[in-house]
Chain A
Amino acid sequence: MNLKVSTPTKVVKPSRRTFIDFIREQPLGFIGLIMIITMFFAAIFAPEVAPYNPEDVDFEASPALGGGQPSWEHPLGADAFGRDILSRLIYGARTALSIGFFSAMLGCTLGAIIGTTSAYFGGKVDLIIQRLIDLMLSFPIVILAIVVIAIFPKTVVVGIDINVIIAIAIPFTPKVARVIRSQALTIVTLPYIDAAKAAGYSSSRIIFRHILPNVSAPFLIMLTAFIGQAILLEASLSFLGLGVVEPTPSWGLMLSGVNSDYYRTAAWMIIYPGLAVSIAVFSFNLLGDSLRDWLDPKLKL
């Protein structure tokens, strides 16, 4: 029901919402944030945190030879080559988070720029961009990512798979562009933009000073949500053998090639990497959802 009637006097008292308010109002989001920070720490300090080198092979601990059960030695067990799963998960967090962050950042930034420009200039530019976005949106993310993978040759720079980042970023771009465009379209019609135009400010000043800061909330929300989705997508691509390749530790890769033998004999090889992906994505979704409820409850993604 309409609550507007009840809180008109709220404006009288200065109210700036703080981080403390976020914790109090969105406990689930705060939990997500803590989990994300923990993961980032683990990833950055992987060499200190991980009990083993992720590439150390120990055939005695291989489930193929009947070993590798979770134990004090290998808390989450060992894989087919006897490599410590916990250590591989910790190093895998590096891959997941870096690819997740960079691809979401790239996709969201491109999307935001395209969306804002399209909305501000309108007319033919807007129409053509919109049609291209519609076209790209008619493909599932995974399909689009795989097509991009097929087109771009494999490129690895300082241990990061650039082609995977691009393949993940491109399907995100039209989604972000569409949301940002609709947000920017509302802003463009607001009186403060008219006031800026009437005051004779330049287009670039209006875009950068008056429009972009006001789409920062949806941008932040989408960035958070898409980092999660990017991690998921990276795992899927690697699982299919189209993403990251050995020896880079990757959660998706740890699940690929697991043949039916291990379903019975080494369940830990399957359970933990998938759990890692799920928890990571879950945390980002939790944070993203709470950010949306907090910053812009009506935003449609």
Chain B
Amino acid sequence: MLKYAFNRILLMIPTLIAVAIIVFLVLRVVPGDIVELKLTAEGGEVSMEQIEAEKKRLGLNDPLHIQFYNYMIGIPQGDLGISLWTEKPVAEEIGSRIGLSFQLAIFSTILAVLLAFPLGTLSALFRGTFLDYVIRIITIGGIAVPAFWLGMLLIMLVLSFGKLPPLGTVSFFVDPLTNFNQMIWPAISVGYRYTSVVARMLRSSILEVLSEDYIRTARAKGLYERVVIVKHGMRNALLPTVTVIGLEFAFLLGGLVVTESVFNLNGIGKLFIDSVIRNDLNLLQGLVLTVATAFVLVNLIVDLCYAALDPRIRYQS
């Protein structure tokens, strides 16, 4: 098991390097010029000389391989360059915002897991009944309803019953209640899809597992049906479900991009949109890298969970 974990961690390194290279190359193609955008935003006429000077100052005129070298050298030291717009270090920009997004992700994961398990299990065990149909329709709805629209509906709902929590996020450790009040609505709006995806996966894997031969063996042994389902069925059905939970967690950022806009939360989703609109190459680069790293890390955790649940993988190495 330890050897497996070690191998898995080693395997992450080439993945991350490849991601970093590709991100760098791809983003060099981005059209539009941040400097021009930035200088004109400050108003007034801008001369070519001013733009050139600014570019030089920001290091944008260096040859590509120098830029690449600086970028690759910086990464392991946590140096992702500076934001071309705010001129603060990218790492700092991301660092100050990632906590909020992370908390939101955790919140919606808890929500999703709490809801998805009963939904998926009931739907599978009562397959073909009215209950199953209702749950299936609810969960198909979950992957149909746009998260940002759900957020808007929630805002409307809150507004008609009371008032919105104050703007500007309060830390969970300072004022848990306000924090909870601020987080719960965006968490629900991204969590609906999350819940549905997990519940659907759980349903189909339970159904698949229950038709396996070893379930018949367990019944033929005279085990209680409860034991058959929970011990023999659920543990196997959990395997693909864990993968989905992990994948969706890593991909929550996609959902957060829109949801943070709706709720006006200063997480990295919103930062991402800003960086695209402002052509802030360095920031965009840093964010994409962050997303990929998050994905790789979550994948690692998923694989370790998998190995813990499935001896076939644990003993492979």
Q: Do chains A and B touch in the complex (CB under 8 A)?
A: yes
Residues of A within 8 A of B (CB): 1-2, 28, 131, 134-135, 138-143, 146-147, 149-151, 153, 228-229, 232, 235-236, 239-242, 252, 255, 258, 260, 263-264, 267, 270-271, 273-274, 277-282, 285-286, 289, 298, 300
A298 touches B208 (CB 8 A): yes
B residues near A279, Cβ cutoff 8 Å:
144
- Whether the pair A285, B144 counts as a contact (CB closer than 8 A) is yes
Cβ 8 A contact of B149, one of A263, A277, A289, A300: A277
Tell yes or no: B2 within 8 A of A by CB: no
B residues near A147, Cβ cutoff 8 Å = 26-27, 276, 284, 288
User: What residues on B are CB-neighbors of A241 within 8 Å?
Assistant: 277
CB pair B30 A151 closer than 8 Å: yes
A150 to chain B, nearest CB (A): 5
Asked if B146 and A274 make an inter-chain contact with CB atoms under 8 angstroms apart, the answer reads: yes
Pair A255/B152 contact, Cβ less than 8 Å:
yes
B29 at the interface (CB under 8 A from A): yes
Q: Are the C-beta atoms of B148 and A236 separated by less than 8 Å?
A: yes
Given contacts A151-B30, A242-B276, contact A228 B253 (CB under 8 A): no
Q: Does B292 have its Cβ within 8 Å of any Cβ on chain A?
A: yes
Residues of A within 8 A of B145 (CB): 274, 277-278, 281
Q: Is the CB of B156 within 8 A of A267?
A: yes
Complex CA distance for A188 and B251, rounded to whole angstroms: 33
A274–B152 alpha-carbon span in the complex (Å): 9
- Quick check: A263 and B156 within 8 Å, CB to CB? yes
The verdict on A151 contacting B31 (CB below 8 Å), with A2-B216, A278-B144 known, is: yes
A202 to B295, CA, bound (A): 41
Q: A143 contacts B272, CB within 8 Å?
A: yes
A264: chain B residues within 8 A (beta carbon): 159-160
Q: Determine the residue in chain B with the shortest Cβ distance to A228.
A: B144
Separation of A236 and B299 alpha carbons in the complex (Å) = 26
Residue of B nearest to A140 (CB): B254
Interface residues on B, range: 35 or more
CA–CA, A232 and B159, complex, Å: 26
Residue of A146, A150, A278 near B146 (CB, 8 A) is A278
Q: Is A149 a contact of B254 with CB atoms below 8 Å?
A: no
- Chain A hits for B215, CB < 8 A: 1
The reply to whether A271 and B255 contact each other, CB–CB distance below 8 Å, is no
Question: Who on chain B is nearest to A242 by CB?
Answer: B276
Within 8 A of A (CB), among B111-164: 133, 136-137, 140-141, 143-150, 152-153, 155-156, 159-160
Are B156 and A282 in contact, with the CB atoms below 8 A? no
B236 to chain A, nearest CB (A): 15
Q: Name the residue on B nearest A146 (C-beta).
A: B276
Which residues of chain A have C-beta atoms less than 8 A from B252's C-beta?
A: 140
Please provide the chain B residues from 1 to 31 with a CB less than 8 Å away from any CB of chain A in the complex. 15, 18-19, 22, 26-27, 29-31
> Which of chain B's residues have a CB closer than 8 A to the CB of A235?
146, 149
Q: Is B291's CB under 8 angstroms from A143's CB?
A: yes
Is the Cβ of B254 less than 8 Å from the Cβ of A143? yes
Determine the distance from Cα of A239 to Cα of B258 in the docked complex, in whole angstroms. 8
A1 / chain B contacts, CB cutoff of 8 Å: 211, 215-216
- Asked if B213 is an interface residue, CB under 8 A from chain A, the answer is yes
Give the CA-CA distance A43 to B31 in the complex, in Å: 34
> Is the CB–CB distance between A2 and B143 below 8 Å?
no
What are the 5 closest A-B residue pairs judged by CB atoms, nearest first?
A140-B254, A274-B149, A142-B254, A281-B144, A282-B144
Most central of B31, B140, B143, B213 by chain A CB within 10 Å: B140
Q: B254-274: contact bitstring with A at CB < 8 Å (1 yes, 0 no)?
A: 110110010000000000110
**In the complex, are the beta carbons of A289 and B146 less than 8 A apart?**
no
> Can you identify 20 A-B contacts, CB atoms within 8 angstroms?
A1-B211, A2-B211, A131-B18, A135-B18, A142-B255, A143-B253, A143-B288, A143-B291, A151-B26, A151-B31, A232-B146, A236-B258, A239-B146, A252-B146, A263-B152, A273-B149, A277-B145, A278-B149, A282-B140, A298-B208
Chain B hits for A138, CB < 8 A: 15, 19, 250, 292, 295-296, 299
Contacts of B273 in A (CB 8 A): 146, 240, 242
* A236 & B146 in contact (Cβ 8 Å cutoff): yes
Q: A1-B211, A263-B155, A271-B153 are in contact. Are A143 and B257 (CB under 8 A)?
A: yes
B140 pairs with A289, CB closer than 8 A: yes
Residue on A nearest B133 in the bound complex, by CB: A28
Near A by CB (< 8 A), chain B positions 281-301 give 284, 288, 291-292, 295-296, 299
Q: Name the interface residues of B41-99: CB closer than 8 Å to any CB of A.
A: none
